[in-house]
């Protein structure tokens, strides 16, 4: 039996093999095609539920199986799986493109009377009508064929961009000596030493994966070692990489992607891809986004300039560095932070053991959102993956709300970063009339626990790691706590892209609350909770370099939007990046830096002309969190009443109404920039 065709409620991740992909995809595509022919036949009724019973059931089955293959491709990449995925990708892309542009299906949806639908179905119907137009359903003849070809080419190019980024990252290794590693934290020394020994090599094996790269940049005393890593990192997948790594160069791929996006936009009647991208988003126009970003940059700039002046003074006076180089800044920053606030990231890390952090995260979610989170079992793709269930107890007894996989650690063959993805959505199924509960993936790339004398110690997380975990869990709660029964607008489905970061960024705020942190910390050796004195230092340092960090996000966001509005794809994109840096950044990277070449968010991750969403949604999330600050108890304990209101207005509503309506249902007004500036120490 092919595990991808199994009727089991959860994917059989432990059984899926590369050879299962092609036959399963072919079978499911045939079923979906047959369903499409059935519902578009002349006599088939133009009724929401009738179409859903046939077509949505078949396409959901295809989506779930392909979702499992795509997920494995991201977290357990092998040459065989990659080949199977790439062979099936054009067929899957072709089907979804054809479905989204099917004139017959579009006509059926047009014929549905919105008065026969409930509120959730009306929103899903409205989205579907818009998506048909954006999917090319109104194009004819050669234009329609060209549109379909563009979709397939873009899917292939994005996948290649991803592969080059992963391969370029995995291909690098450097064996450092003990002298070069002076200053590097113990847990990193142990892990890199073990990695070298596993290959029968001397020294310490360094990689460009974050759990290794970042601490070396922050703590290694050797400027030469930092320079080696920095150069390798910022030239990954580019024309500036070492000769051996040139085969991973993404330069041409980026140009091709940009040209195809511009052509797609023009086929659909838009002046550029930026305008097309914003049609289903909250922001009204690219101009509105650019104005928002430049306004925020203007407000943040004085703070960023002061951040940089402080760094330069400290480097000169305390570290004898008259002219710090780009690879010196993380080190200088860490040293300044230690000097100014009398603590180091390394000291903090000892208190954040992964199991304790997870327990603390679950406790805050359980308290605020009236749920219970329990360990559960499911087939997994790696022994380090855990599975959990979320339950709610009510008058009718205990009910399953949702479930999630947690894959926390970095490893070879797993793409970098952190993300949440859906396995299945909440849906009152039209075929069985049963309620399907949502399931999510939460993926991070933290360091693993190290083995010392045969005993495996728990993984230690930096405070940034903790914030990342809370962020992804916020996305997960948005997907899993939904009370919407219509598949296409339940959970994160149908939520405007620039509002989807609201629940994730909202959760990050709890990582700065004492009464949350004291319950989720225990020193790795002594078991003691985080001392209040250390927390106070962390809090004092919370907005350390927030001006520079804000400008960095704006630099990425502005580059992304200008790239998709004002840039000619035939021209080199590097001058545009230089221009944006000249306008926004206070620190200029070297001329050979090529960060655009691994900017996966916009070239392989759905954020094209949408990276501004992080800053846009941060305004929403900061203002939403301000409601908790306004209603907290004197000791800072968050109000359960406010938690309930937030859960009902934002999390449970999912995509069943415009995000602004959900926000106003919670706050009683439109969002304001004030809370964000205050939270980041940049209030007037």
Whether the CB-CB separation of 643 and 582 falls below 8 Å is answered with: no
> In the Cβ-directed half-sphere of 530, how many Cα atoms lie within 13 Å?
31
Cα–Cα distance measured from residue 674 to residue 661, given in angstroms and rounded to the nearest whole number: 20
Indicate the helix (H) or strand (E) that contains 117: none
The 3-class SS string of 634-658 reads CCCCCCHHHHHHHHHHHHCCCCCCC
Length of the chain: 684
Q: What is the CA radius of gyration of the chain?
A: 25
Do residues 669 and 626 make contact, with C-beta atoms less than 8 angstroms apart? no
Question: Do the Cβ atoms of 459 and 408 come closer than 8 Å?
Answer: yes
Dist. CA 403–CA 377, nearest whole Å: 10
Token pair of 478 as six digits: 């948005």
Q: What is the β-pairing status of strands 386-394 and 451-452?
A: unpaired
- Name the one residue in this structure whose structure tokens are 């014929």: 111
Cβ within 8 Å of residue 115, ≥6 positions away: none
Helix (H) or strand (E) holding 629: helix 613-631
Give the C-alpha separation, 662 to 650, whole Å: 6
Q: Which residues pair with 388 in a beta bridge?
A: 375, 404
- Tally Cβ neighbours within 10 Å of residue 162: 21
- The catalytic site residues sit at 472
CA separation for the pair 291, 365 (Å, rounded): 36
Contacts of residue 137, Cβ cutoff 8 Å, sequence gap at least 6? 100, 101, 102, 103, 105, 106
Helix, strand, coil percentages, rounded to 5, for the chain: 60, 10, 35
The DSSP-derived string for 367-382 is HHHT-EEEEE----SS
Q: What count of other Cβ atoms lies within 10 Å of the Cβ of residue 213?
A: 21
CA distances from 198 to 13, 76, 215, 227, 553 (A): 28, 20, 21, 26, 38
């Amino acid at each position: 039996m092919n595990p991808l065709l199994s009727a089991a409620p959860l994917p059989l991740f432990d059984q899926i093999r590369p050879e299962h992909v092609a036959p399963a995809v072919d079978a499911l595509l045939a079923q979906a095609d047959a369903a499409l022919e059935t519902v578009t036949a002349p006599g088939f009724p133009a009724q929401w539920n009738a179409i859903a019973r046939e077509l949505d059931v078949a396409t959901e089955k295809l989506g779930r199986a392909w979702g499992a293959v795509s997920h494995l491709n991201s977290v357990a990449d092998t040459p065989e799986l990659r080949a199977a995925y790439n062979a099936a990708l054009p067929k899957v892309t072709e089907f979804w493109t054809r479905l989204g542009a099917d004139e017959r299906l579009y006509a059926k949806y047009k014929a549905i009377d919105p008065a026969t639908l409930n509120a959730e179905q009306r929103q899903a119907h409205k989205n579907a009508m818009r998506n048909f137009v954006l999917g090319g359903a109104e194009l004819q003849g050669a234009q329609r064929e060209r549109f379909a070809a563009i979709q397939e080419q873009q899917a292939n190019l994005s996948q290649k961009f991803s592969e080059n980024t992963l391969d370029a990252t995995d291909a690098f290794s450097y064996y450092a000596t003990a002298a070069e590693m002076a200053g590097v934290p113990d847990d990193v020394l142990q892990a890199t030493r073990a990695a070298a020994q596993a290959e029968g090599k001397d020294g310490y094996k360094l990689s460009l994966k974050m759990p290794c790269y970042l601490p070396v940049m922050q703590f290694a005393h050797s400027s030469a070692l930092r320079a080696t890593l920095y150069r390798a990192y910022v030239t990954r997948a580019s024309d500036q990489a070492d000769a051996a790594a040139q085969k991973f160069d993404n330069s041409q791929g980026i140009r091709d992607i940009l040209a195809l996006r511009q052509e797609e936009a023009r086929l659909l009647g838009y002046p550029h891809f930026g305008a097309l991208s914003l049609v289903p988003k909250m922001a009204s126009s690219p101009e509105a986004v650019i104005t928002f970003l430049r306004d925020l940059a203007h407000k943040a700039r004085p703070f960023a300039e002061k951040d940089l002046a402080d760094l330069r003074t400290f480097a000169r006076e305390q570290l004898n560095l008259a002219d710090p180089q780009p690879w010196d800044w993380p080190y200088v920053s860490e040293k300044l932070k230690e000097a100014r606030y009398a603590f180091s990231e390394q000291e903090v890390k000892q208190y954040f053991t992964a199991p304790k952090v997870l327990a603390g995260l679950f406790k805050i979610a359980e308290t605020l959102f009236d749920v219970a989170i329990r360990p559960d079992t499911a087939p997994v793709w790696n022994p380090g993956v855990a599975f959990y269930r979320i339950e709610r107890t009510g008058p009718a007894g205990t009910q399953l709300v949702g479930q999630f996989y947690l894959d926390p650690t970095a490893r070879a063959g797993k793409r970098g970063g952190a993300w949440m993805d859906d396995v299945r959505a909440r849906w009152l199924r039209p075929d069985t009339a049963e309620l399907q509960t949502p399931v999510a993936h939460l993926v991070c790339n933290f360091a693993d626990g190290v083995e010392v004398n045969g005993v495996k110690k728990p993984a230690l997380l930096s405070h940034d790691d903790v914030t990342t975990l809370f962020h992804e869990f916020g996305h997960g709660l948005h997907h899993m706590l939904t009370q919407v029964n219509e598949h296409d607008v339940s959970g994160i489905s149908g939520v405007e892209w620039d509002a989807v970061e609201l629940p994730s960024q909202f959760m990050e705020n709890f990582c700065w609350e004492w009464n949350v942190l004291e319950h989720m910390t225990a020193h790795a050796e002594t078991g003691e909770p985080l001392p209040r004195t250390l927390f106070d230092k962390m809090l004092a340092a919370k907005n350390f370099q927030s001006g520079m960090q804000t400008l960095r996000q704006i630099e990425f966001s502005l580059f992304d939007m200008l790239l998709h509005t004002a840039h000619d794809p035939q021209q080199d994109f590097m001058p545009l990046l230089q221009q944006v840096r000249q306008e926004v950044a206070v620190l200029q990277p070297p001329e050979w830096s090529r960060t655009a070449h691994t900017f996966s968010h916009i070239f392989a991750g759905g954020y094209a002309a949408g990276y501004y969403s992080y800053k846009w949604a941060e305004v929403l999330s900061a203002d939403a969190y301000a409601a908790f600050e306004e209603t907290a108890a004197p000791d800072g304990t968050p109000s359960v009443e406010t938690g309930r209101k937030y859960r009902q207005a934002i999390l449970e509503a999912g995509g069943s109404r415009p995000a602004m309506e959900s926000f106003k249902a919670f706050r009683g007004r439109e969002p304001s920039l004030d809370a964000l500036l205050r939270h980041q120490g940049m209030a007037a």
